Structure 1
Amino acid sequence: MVIIKISEKTVQCSIAAQELHEIGLTPEALLHGEEKSIPFITQLNQEVGQQLAYDPENEVMMMSRNIMADGSVRIYAVKMDNDDIQSSADRLRGIAQGILDYLTQDKIDAVKAEKGQEKSEALNKLVEGMNNMVGRMYLEESEEGQKLISALENIQKLNVISKPALEYQRYMGVFENLDSVIRFSKIASAMPIVDSGLYKSDEKYYLMMGLQTDSEAVVYELRKAGIEYAKALSVNSPEELHLIETAECIIAKDAISHLSQLDAEGK
């Protein structure tokens, strides 16, 4: 386990997948605070508390836990006194007001007025714009956020982390017919796709896939194949969960691998 003190009030802990395995834990057990992870979490709380000179009588400790693409777990611990709690509440009120100002009824009506794929694209654009606005407001208005950015930049310069974790992104391709899906899959099968599923709804095929890579060239090739064969290719689409729950499942697992072995029409 690696513990890095980012600021006087923030600590980052990284636990490798192999370390978790050696102590009989899984990333999910640690993420959800399962009973078997309690001894480890207790020890972690003690070590983090020492690093931050934590005063349990007058301060609170907030932790966020995230599973990385390589199976490791990254934890951020932040201690907060009354001033921090007040400033956080003020900032949240500001963000809430910003969301209300951004999410006007005119914008919502514009999304509702679209049809088919255009509706999905309009909704994606609206949500992405809101997320960007919230992130920008938090980092720009938060003194702690500015310190965190500066500290992280310094950590990167010092090469505390020797190799970045591979980035994982969810992609969803929309296809007019199965032939296009097969042709796309033959190209995508050479890429680091770690999971994929094929669904059908309203005579359209939806290929869900998880791409794990830090290579911009691979992302470019995937998008290039999407332009050639798919009607649309989106990243982290809010539609995906709804389609998985409601659409007809054609291939639930390793869809790209199976599809790439089929013959497309005219081949």
Structure 2
Amino acid sequence: MVIVKMNNTTVECSIAASELREIGLTPEAIMNGEKRSVPFMAQLNREVGEQLGFNPETEVLMMSKNMMVDGSVRIFAIKMSNEDIQKSADRIRGSAEAILREMTQERVDSIKAKTGYDKGQALNEMIGHVSELIEQIYDQDEEQDPQIEAMAKPIVNTEKYMARFKDLNSAARFAKVSFSLPITASKLYKENEEYYLTLVLEPDTENTVYDLRRCGLEYAEELMMNSPEQTHIEETAKCIIKEDALLHLKEMIAK
């Protein structure tokens, strides 16, 4: 994900389709505001808010989403204070009043009274003037000095893992030793005679991933990261623990 800070109030984020696929999303999911995209958009809001110094108590963060021809998603975020809101309202009010002055009934009647080429030309002139007035709504009152800053950031600070076990007891022992790691979500699946534990890890130190892999080497048949096989398991296998699988498996050992 590339984040470009245009100035003190505007940020542009570009996210490649391949990046979205890595976290199980699609450009369409982002554009349509699907439920599964909510956690990612919440994280993006936090990131953009930090870049702009956004104060949710006194300011508003406006976002517009656009899907590009290559499948990437471009998101513009604009921070608006009460002063910005007032300026926007004044621009809209001024343009609306100008449009009403432009489109008086007398002007319309004069166009209707014309014939042939003159009628079309007069109508086009009026529509052109109205379009210019509408465009003024979106013009800034004053241009800010360019302060463009660009940075590349990971699309998420989480990593998806899946561990495969030959039996439930091995999965439970894995859960017991890995429970203290920063794992935010876990589910347990079963396919044929094997068990699959999916994990969402939020590494807080460089040793976190090492600790998880060490647990996997000791108790799992295989530990995979961002594997296409995980998508297959999630779509076809039977989910036997839908939430907090680590906790439930750990409790099996305790009993």
Normalized against structure 2, the TM-score is what? 0.48
Larger RCO (CA within 8 A; separation ≥ 6): 2
Tell which structure's C-alpha radius of gyration is larger.
Answer: 2
